[in-house]
Amino acid sequence: MAFTLEMARDAINRYNAILEEKRDYLTDLDTVIGDADHGINMSRGLRRAAEKIAAKEFLDFGGFFREVAVTVMSAVGGSAGPLYGTFFMKMGQNLTSRREASIAELADAMAEGLSGIMALGKSAPGDKTMIEALDPAIQALKKFSEDGDSAAWNMAVKAAEAGMKDTIPMRSKRGRSSYLGERSMGCQDPGATSSYYMIACMRDASLE
């Protein structure tokens, strides 16, 4: 079953809901190693994105993800806005003129989004960022795409969760948390956590 434009809309709505639910938790994570605003910022940005897409119809993924990207970039403060906005923008550009995509095609689009994040943030796997959840999730989607949507998505969510938890012992190398040095070790990265939620919401929108 293809990933459709309506599934994408449902995923953003689900992401908005879970970020509202987890807002304080994400902020608590960010209090330890960041600016203490990740949950607040992400919740505000996705709420506005959900409001924007509710009021419009879209012809393709390109227009849809561009709307989400622009809204997130303007509404989410700190580095998260540009990073998530870039992810959505690159996805949309990869899927321009499309209203549905196979799991493999979606994974390729997400990989483009991830490349945009890495270029903008000058970051790589191992830096203790959102990449730790996104990269393994995308790789799992690609690896298991021929095993069916359910298998691919469930493996992607497991990979994202494992990547998120792997940030706990890591030393941060990017952003404000990098100034803490060894004190950043032992804390779960908030960006990896919100990225894990995003992957889970995409899975749920695709399979339920």
pLDDT of residue 31: 81
- Alpha carbons 47 and 43: distance in angstroms, whole number: 6
Regions of the chain where pLDDT drops below 50: 179-180
pLDDT of residue 179: 43
Where along the chain do its domains lie?
3-207
pLDDT of residue 152: 97
CATH superfamily of 3-207: DhaL domain (1.25.40.340)
Distances in Å between the alpha carbon of 47 and those of 85, 106, 178?
A: 14, 24, 29
Helix, strand or coil, per DSSP, at residue 164: helix
The two three-digit tokens of residue 182, written as one number: 């060894």
